[in-house]
Amino acid sequence: MIDISESVMQFLLAFIVVGPLIGAAAALLPAPPGLKGKSPDQAVLRHGVTVTGAILAAAIVLTLGFDHDHPSKMQATTDISWIPALDVRLHLGIDGISLPLLVLTALLTFLCALYSYFRMPAGPSPKAFVALLLVLESGTLATFAVLDLLLFFLAFEMVLIPMYFLIARWGGEGRQPAAWRFILYTLLGSVVMLLGLLLVGLKAGTFDMVALATDNGRDITTSVQVIAVLAIGIGLAVKTPMWPLHSWLPDAHTAAPTVGSVLLAGVLLKMGTYGFVRIVMPITPDGMHILAPYLAAFAVAGIIYGSLACLSLARTGAKGDLKRLIAYSSVGHMGFVLLGIATMTPTGVNGALFANIAHGLITGLLFFLVGAIKDRYGTADLDTLAGATGAALYGRAPRLGGLLAFAAVASLGLPGLAGFWGEMLALLGAFQPAEGLSRPAFLTFMAVGAFGTLLTAAYLLLVVRRVCMGAKPAADQPALADIQTYEFAAWTPLAVLTVVAGLWPAVLLGLTDPAVQKLLAGGKS
Amino acid sequence: MTVAAAGAANLVQSVDWAAIAPPTIAAVVALLVLVADLFVPKERWQVLGWTAIAGLVAAILALVPLRKGDRSTFCLTTDADACSYTADHFALVIQFLVLGGALLTALLSLNDTKERLPAGEFWFLLLSSAAGAALLPASRDLATLVVALEVASLPAFALVGLKRGDRMSGEAALKFFLSSVTATAVMLLGVSFVYASTGTLHLTEIAQALDDVPAQLETVAKAGVALTLVGFAFKTAAVPFHFWVPDTYVGAPLPIAAYLSVVGKAVGFTGLILVTVIAFPTYADVWGPALSVLAALTMTVGNVAALRQVSTRAWSAVRLLAWSSVAQAGYLLVPIAAAAYSGDDQIGATVAYALMYAVVNLGAFAVAALVARTHPLNRISDYRGLYATRPAAALVMGFFLLCLAGLPPGIIGLFAKVTVFSSAVDAGLGWLAVVMGVNVVIALYYYLQWTAVLFRTPEGVPVAAAEGVPARPATAPITAAIALTAVAGVVLSGYPQLVLRFAADTLF
């Protein structure tokens, strides 16, 4: 949109990846004079807001400087040799697929930092909190920006330690086992993924994603591709998470502090699906072709499983935790993303990428809202909240209730909001899957997936009815604070973007489509 | 010898003194310290320690002129290619590793020799052992190899048992001694069988001779190969020859445990690499599968045992490090096993991993030595809240542990594991890679648990620190050791090529 010289773009991208790391180191040092603020805690939280804000600004400038006429081209690329022995190169670059995810990460982390500035989760000192948040941001951004398989793995691993500590130190009830489960599951997955990446790299002779994608798996035999897809796929599927490898997710979400849940659902899960699109699909297309129907089957199983789990949690008397419910709904939503990817068509993959972003915005917002409700009521237990007739949030805190209803409706995929397009395109892709994939199978998957949207609508509306509606509260109940200014500031961008993406999907699809076409065609654009 | 007729002059092999300088300097300084011990008054015994350290530094510096890696000496006068001592890149890297390891051990021991250990004997033994360890990677015939191995391990027995009046220390030394001597005997038997069937002791000539062993001697040759390997497997503490490790580490003075875990292990590996890759490539189809099974067993047993350590038990920290060192030995064996399938280029991965492990493990032991000053029992629970009392030490320890686990920010640990993985995948040992993958996850659990303990809030009010034990500040040598390893670890994490380049080229 605006013309920025290539070297500035390179610098911006490198800054986006490295900046948070430097910020994290700085957060551990004592504040310099002049920036001491009211107290050390306040100073370091402010530092977090400043750094994430700077990164977000850089990401926005990068978006403005991005050549929107050629989104399939890698831009702002840096390519320096780092470890010649392993042929690892510091190869960074963005195209239409990674740019939206990069901006989403920068935005969500900034909003989380802003939210914590006003509402620091209970736990040890904020110093470590801010440092871990920044390392987490760096790892996530690096995952979307690197173009080297081993570097991708490094970035993928980098988020584990900060997230573990965020859950284990600042989390709620049952945080220790939940944090352990999160890290052991993901690590087991990523070790298997490393083996797959090494197999691909050693057989093809390079770890460079761009070169590998251009080769389109020509140098790798089909049997090796199948093994590689299995290995890499397991690692990514744990992260995504794909049913039945999802069981770490509900606990981690329930135990994590609000910002932890927001980042976990908003961006960490996307690392898995991004890996499928960026690595598995273009680099090992033959293997993916063979395994795609299975992936799709697991995906729709996840859709149904997630929705049914949510429905059972939403029932009266089920003692369902709202955070756990949203977590299970993520399993369902990510199922749509995986289904879109498994179709291996431009329509489906574009839908998947769109659903990725939409899920990040909407579920991020939902976790913020549920966190706020938990803060106000002291519990997220649906039965305690709802009482006999319902929590009556519309009456007690109308703005909070309204926003919750908005997010729930967006999440169930109401046309006109962001949640709609991704799931619709994913199902549409399944209607006409790529050549060579069994159409009847995918038609079945489509039908089952469509049924899943109905279930999704059912449980979300049930939640809205039980939380937002209800009998007029008795006069003796304490007043409930409505949305505060800082909450308003942290949530508005998400709500606005949900509407924008819903009304004007071309903004995103225009970016992703050319890049997806190129990846599917094997770099022959 | 057959060349006796050729005349006396031809029998004398030429000696390249510069090439053999590193082990020689260590040995000479060892003798010097032993003699000086008689004349130096007791209150000035620290001088001995500093002399030993200076000697080790000099030995390391003596490696610099050899860096081209093309020297060899003690060659046969009849065959210039068969040399007993070769300072190639492999030898130089391992020499750097063992001398550096000995140097860090010396830094850690300076305090103990002031208080608990007899100074003169200690420094003599340490330097002799280091001299043997430095000789081993360069030796290229079986006799020198065995002699070097014994020079490296005999002083180690004494070092383990050096804690005066400590029953556990004596018991540990005895256990170590008996099992080690058995292994040496087995190995010597194997060496003699190999000599009997090939008629030579030089590794390169053995390799040629083993190709066409007369049919009636084939069984002897095979038995010889197997027995020799068993001896070295013991030195590396590979399962099932690992049982001496935990008790020995716990009984030994802490710096010596660190020394054994790094230098002792390096010695075993070097010997194993030399005999397998250089001398016995003919039998690769025998030792390849054997070593891969051994590797899988070693890492699994080590990790499972480390996982079962109870954090409140006395010396659990050292015990955990001991078991984890058994597990790490398993990872180190993987590339050697892979070399049986796809050529000796894989050895570089072991070397790179060993360098990483040396830096990180010595660092972890250095922090353990620091903590042991206030908590002599060295339980893992003693590390609780270390971040509150010594933030820098806690951060560094967390870094070392994550390096051992192979997770960012321990980037060097991660990439060293990646090279090992890639050697296994490259050699088609997929199952071993998967076993190792599972082990990495198991290991992560206990490393991360320990890391998490460091940053927990301290239990209760630190009453003991306030009243009973006075807070003992870190001494300069321990701080220097920690700083040295930490800087090395961080630099390597930023630029892993420094050690990983060994994984890329041929070292021999």
Give me the pLDDT at residue A408, please.
93
User: What's the pLDDT score for residue B301?
Assistant: 92
From chain A, pick out residues whose CB is under 8 angstroms from the CB of B438: 188, 191
Q: How many CA atoms lie within 13 A of B464 on its CB side?
A: 8
More confident residue, A125 or B334: B334
pLDDT at res. B8: 52
* Residue B101 pLDDT exceeds 90: yes
Mutate to test the interface with B, among A22, A86, A153 (most CBs of B within 10 A): A86
What's the rounded mean pLDDT across residues B139-152? Answer: 91
d(CA A453, CA B288): 55
Of the two residues A282 and B78, the one the predictor is more confident about is A282
Give the whole-angstrom CA distance, residue B349 versus residue B506.
11
Within 8 A of A165 by CB-CB distance, chain B residues are 452, 455
- What number is the average pLDDT over the span B13-28? 89
Question: What confidence category does residue B6 fall into, taking pLDDT thresholds of 50, 70 and 90?
Answer: very low
Residue B357 has pLDDT above 70, yes or no: yes
Helix B119-135 crosses helix B21-39 at what angle (to 10 degrees)? 170
- The answer to whether the CB atoms of A161 and B419 lie below 8 A apart is no
Q: Does A447 score more than 90 pLDDT?
A: yes
pLDDT value at B305 more than 60:
yes
**Dist CA B15 CA B21 (whole Å):** 11
Contact B503 A85 (CB under 8 A): yes
Domain boundaries, chain B: 17-279, 283-508
| Helix/strand/coil (H/E/C) assignment for every residue in B25-91 | HHHHHHHHHHHHHHHCCHHHCHHHHHHHHHHHHHHHHCCHHHCCCCEEEEECCCCCCCEEEEECHHH
pLDDT of A151 higher than 50: yes
Distance to chain A for B231, nearest Cα, Å: 32
Task: Output the six-digit token pair for B20.
Answer: 């053999």
Preferred mutation among A80, A81, A83, A200 to probe B, highest tally of B CBs within 10 A: A83
Q: Alpha carbon of A484 to those of A48, A107, A400, A492: distances in Å? A: 21, 20, 10, 12
Least confident piece of the model among A329-343, A434-448, B443-457: B443-457
Alpha helices in A29-148 (DSSP H): 40-65, 98-118, 126-145
Give percent of chain A with pLDDT exceeding 70: 98
Pairwise CA distance, residues B407 & A262, whole Å: 24
What is the rounded CA–CA span in Å between residue B266 and residue B332?
10
Confidence at residue B217, expressed as pLDDT on a 0 to 100 scale: 87
Distance (Å) from the alpha carbon of A350 to chain B's nearest alpha carbon: 32
Residue B13: pLDDT over 90: no
**Least-confidence region, from A212-221, A338-347, B467-476:** B467-476
CA–CA min distance A222, chain B (Å): 17
Taking only the tens place, the pLDDT of each residue in B182-214 is: 888 999 999 999 999 988 889 888 888 888 888
How far is residue A64's CA from residue A267's CA, in Å, rounded to a whole number? Answer: 22
pLDDT band for position B9 (cuts 50, 70, 90):
low
Would you call A194 and B419 a contact, using CB atoms and an 8 Å cutoff?
Answer: no
Tokens describing residue B106: 């010396």
Question: Do residues B100 and B41 lie in contact, with contact meaning Cβ atoms separated by under 8 Å?
Answer: no
Rounded Cα–Cα distance for residues A511 and A517 (Å): 11
Whether residue B455 and residue A165 make contact (CB cut-off 8 A), yes or no, is yes
| Residue A268 tokens, joined | 């960490």
Q: Which of B342, B387, B418 to mutate to test the interface with A (most CBs of A within 10 A)?
A: B418
Burial of A410 (0-12, 13-18, 19+ CB in 10 A): buried
Is residue B287's pLDDT more than 50? yes
Q: Which of B440, B452, B501 sits opposite A191 (nearest CB)?
A: B440
A198 chain-B contacts, CB cut-off 8 A: 418, 421-422, 425, 433
- pLDDT score for B471: 57
Helix ranges, A146-277 (H): 149-158, 160-170, 175-204, 209-215, 222-239, 248-255, 258-263, 269-275
- Nearest residue in chain A measured CA to CA from B411: A154
A154:B411 CB<8 A: yes
The sign of the CA dihedral A300, A303, A304, A305 is positive
CB-CB neighbors (< 8 A) of A150 in chain B: 415, 418
Q: Is the ipTM of this complex over 0.90?
A: no
Q: Model confidence over B423-482: pLDDT tens digits? A: 998 888 889 999 998 999 899 889 988 998 888 877 664 544 444 455 566 788 889 999
Cβ contact B501–A128 (<8 Å): no
pLDDT at residue A338, as a whole number = 94
Torsion angle, CA of B376/B377/B381/B382, rounded to 10 degrees? -10
CA distances from B276 to B182, B220, B223, B272 (A): 21, 17, 14, 6
Question: What angle, rounded to 10 degrees, do the helices at A160-170 and A175-204 form?
Answer: 180
Inter-chain CB proximity A83 and B433 less than 8 Å: no
Helices (H), strands (E): how many in chain B?
A: 22, 2
Of all residues in chain B, the one with the smallest CA distance to A201 is: B422
Cβ-based contacts of B496 with chain A (< 8 Å) = 82-83, 85-86
Separation of alpha carbons B57 and B481, rounded Å: 14
Mean pLDDT is lowest, of A99-113, A449-463, A475-489, B124-138, for A475-489
Q: Cα A426 vs. chain centroid, distance in angstroms?
A: 17
**A-B C-beta contacts closer than 8 Å:** 92
How confident is the prediction for chain B on average, in pLDDT? 86
CA angle B42, B46, B47 (to 5 degrees): 100
State the average pLDDT over residues A378-388.
82
Q: Are B500 and A85 within 8 A, CB to CB?
A: yes
Which residues of chain A have a CB within 8 Å of the CB of B411? 154
B457 contacts in A (CB within 8 Å)?
124
In angstroms, what CA-CA distances link A40 with A32, A117, A125, B447? Answer: 11, 12, 10, 31
What pLDDT score was predicted for residue B251?
A: 84
**pLDDT value for A458:** 92
The average pLDDT across A116-143 equals 90
What is chain B's length? 508
pTM for the full predicted model: 0.90
- Backbone Cα Rg of chain B: 22
Please indicate whether, in this complex, the C-beta atoms of A195 and B496 are within 8 angstroms of each other: no
Q: Name the interface residues of B facing A (CB cutoff 8 Å).
A: 352, 402, 407-409, 411, 414-415, 418-419, 421-422, 425-426, 430, 433-434, 437-438, 440-441, 444-445, 448, 452, 455, 457, 496-497, 500-504
Report the b/e string of A294-325 with b at 16+ CB within 10 A: ebbbbbbbbbbbbbebbbebbeeeeebbbbbb
CA B448 to chain CA mean position, Å: 24
For residue A174, the one-letter residue type is G
8 Å CB contact of B402 and A160 = no
Give B239-273 pLDDT, tens digit per residue: 788 888 888 888 888 899 999 999 988 988 899 99
Q: Helix, strand, coil proportions of chain A in percent (round to 5)?
A: 75, 5, 20
pLDDT for the residue numbered A485: 87
Q: Which of B127, B124, B73, B121 is nearest to B98 (CA)?
A: B127
Q: How confident is the model at residue A525 (pLDDT cuts 50, 70, 90)?
A: very low
What is the structure's pLDDT at A337? 94
Question: In this complex, which of B425, B455, B502 lies closest to A198 when CB atoms are compared?
Answer: B425
